[in-house]
Amino acid sequence: MSEVARYRVHDLQEFCCAVLQELQVPPLDAKEVSECLVAADLRGVDSHGVVRLPVYVRRIRQGVVNPRPVTRVVHERGNAVLFDGDNGLGPVVGLRAMQKAIALAEISGSGIAGVRRSNHFGIAAFYVHKAIHQGFIGFAASNAPPHMAPFGGRARFLGTNPIAVGIPAGGEPPLLFDASTSVVARGKIIVAAQEGKPIPSDWAIDTDGNPTTDANAALAGSVLPFGGAKGSAISFILDILCGVLTGSGFALNLHRLEDLGVEQNLGHFFAAVRTDLFISGKDFAARMDEILHMLKSSPAGAGTSQVLAPGELERQNEARNQVLGIPLLQSIVDQLAELGESLGLAFPKAADTMGLAETQP
């Protein structure tokens, strides 16, 4: 890992923000998108971090993403609202929708916000983190373009449709679950292909539908849903909530980030729930602490030292990266520096050159 250097969180956010503003993204929108990207790197989810900035920029330059969307509520019913993303960057409408769901929950106990005509929204954890921070249970999901075979199938049909759930506790850290509905993120297979390494046979199938350990064959084929028929069904249901229910695109109608000639037309689904929906907020916090404590006290299995709560590993990454800076591969830095150069913007210096503590992962 000698080609890794660490960069300050603030520096990366500033850089992304400046790049997006050069592309005519309004300052506040640029700030939100930048925070969403860097939040992924902070949590160690590199596949959804600043590495995505170049493709976001390419899509704006190609005119298939609107840099200045007029996001608006197009439908209201009870404690539910539907947003039209006006084909803007996903985090822009995503964050507004999550905030609206929280505001509705504040008043009504729970709130729902659907989104249509949106784009890649980064990590789902970004949105439920906002809910947790304000003391609410949060739920965020998106559909995604087809890269995954359904259970019993051999061709791409489903997205790796992500889902995140955040639940505040009392003294214990909150629960923050965020996962794709594939066995593994496609990003891991891309890395294996780059390194020329084989992959486990249960991650993906080739274009003929056969299990493969060849990362390139897997990338040409389809990733597999987590948990067999059950995970496949959950992914399908998320596509229905995000795409079918909202009037957005779904399944085979969705387009990849790399398809530079066409809008993605993704849909999202957000919900927030008050922790005192049924019992007092104080009781809820105490009971959350109790169940989390029970989980952490559960005897560990072979090869593990402790049972981890959902999101605990990512929280550890975040704490470390917040202090030491975010580790980026030189190849990623080169791409970002080149992008900056094309806009007359300098990529920030690595944190270790500024005297910050540094340990290689």
Residues 2-41 that bind a copy of itself (CB under 8 A): none
CB of 251 to a copy of itself, least distance (A): 5
Mask for 247-276, x = binds a copy of itself (CB under 8 A): x--xxx--------------------xxx-
Pairing type for strands 80-84 and 110-118 reads parallel
CA distances to 116, 181, 299 from 266, in Å: 6, 16, 42
Residue tagged 């917040």 (tokens): 322
| Helices 27-42 + 125-133 axis angle, to 10 | 100
CB of 20 to a copy of itself, least distance (A): 29
Q: Does 282 bind a copy of itself (CB under 8 A)?
A: no
Which lies closer to a copy of itself via its Cβ, residue 176 or residue 333?
176
State the virtual CA torsion across 247, 251, 252, 255 in degrees, nearest 10.
Answer: 70
CB of 112 to a copy of itself, least distance (A): 6
Q: Does 171 bind a copy of itself (CB under 8 A)?
A: no
- Tell me which residue of 138, 181, 136 sits closest to 161, measured CA to CA: 181
Binding residues for a copy of itself restricted to 89-128, rule: CB under 8 A: 107-110, 112, 114, 116
204, amino acid identity: A
Backbone torsions φ then ψ of 253, nearest 5 degrees: -80, -10
Choices 24-32, 36-44, 118-126, 280-288 (CB under 8 A): range interacting with a copy of itself: 280-288
CB of 247 to a copy of itself, least distance (A): 4
Which lies closer to a copy of itself via its Cβ, residue 68 or residue 72?
72
Binding residues for a copy of itself restricted to 217-236, rule: CB under 8 A: 226-234, 236
Which lies closer to a copy of itself via its Cβ, residue 152 or residue 355?
152
CB 87 within 8 A of CB 69: yes
Binding residues for a copy of itself restricted to 172-201, rule: CB under 8 A: 175, 177, 179, 181
User: Using CA atoms, how far apart are residues 35 and 20, in angstroms rounded to an integer?
Assistant: 12
Q: Does 298 bind a copy of itself (CB under 8 A)?
A: yes
Q: How many residues does the chain have?
A: 361
CB of 5 to a copy of itself, least distance (A): 30
Q: Does 165 bind a copy of itself (CB under 8 A)?
A: yes
User: Using CA atoms, how far apart are residues 96 and 81, in angstroms rounded to an integer?
Assistant: 11
Interface residue with a copy of itself among 149, 217, 324, 351 (CB under 8 A) is 149
- Strand (E) or helix (H) holding 107: helix 90-108
Interface residue with a copy of itself among 246, 264, 265, 317 (CB under 8 A) is 246
User: Using CA atoms, how far apart are residues 240 and 357, in angstroms rounded to an integer?
Assistant: 47
CB 151 within 8 A of CB 167: no
Mask for 299-338, x = binds a copy of itself (CB under 8 A): xxxx-x-xxx-x----------------------------
How many CB atoms lie under 10 A from the CB of residue 285?
18
Binding residues for a copy of itself restricted to 51-80, rule: CB under 8 A: 75, 77-80
For residue 148, what are its two tokens?
A: 């995954």
- Tell me which residue of 237, 263, 236, 234 sits closest to 90, measured CA to CA: 263
User: Using CA atoms, how far apart are residues 119 and 63, in angstroms rounded to an integer?
Assistant: 13
Which lies closer to a copy of itself via its Cβ, residue 222 or residue 321?
222
Which lies closer to a copy of itself via its Cβ, residue 75 or residue 133?
75
Which lies closer to a copy of itself via its Cβ, residue 102 or residue 167?
167
Residue tagged 């605990």 (tokens): 312
Which lies closer to a copy of itself via its Cβ, residue 98 or residue 324?
98
Q: Give how many residues touch a copy of itself by CB under 8 A.
A: 75
Choices 4-12, 20-28, 290-298, 331-339 (CB under 8 A): range interacting with a copy of itself: 290-298
Start-to-end C-alpha separation, the chain: 7
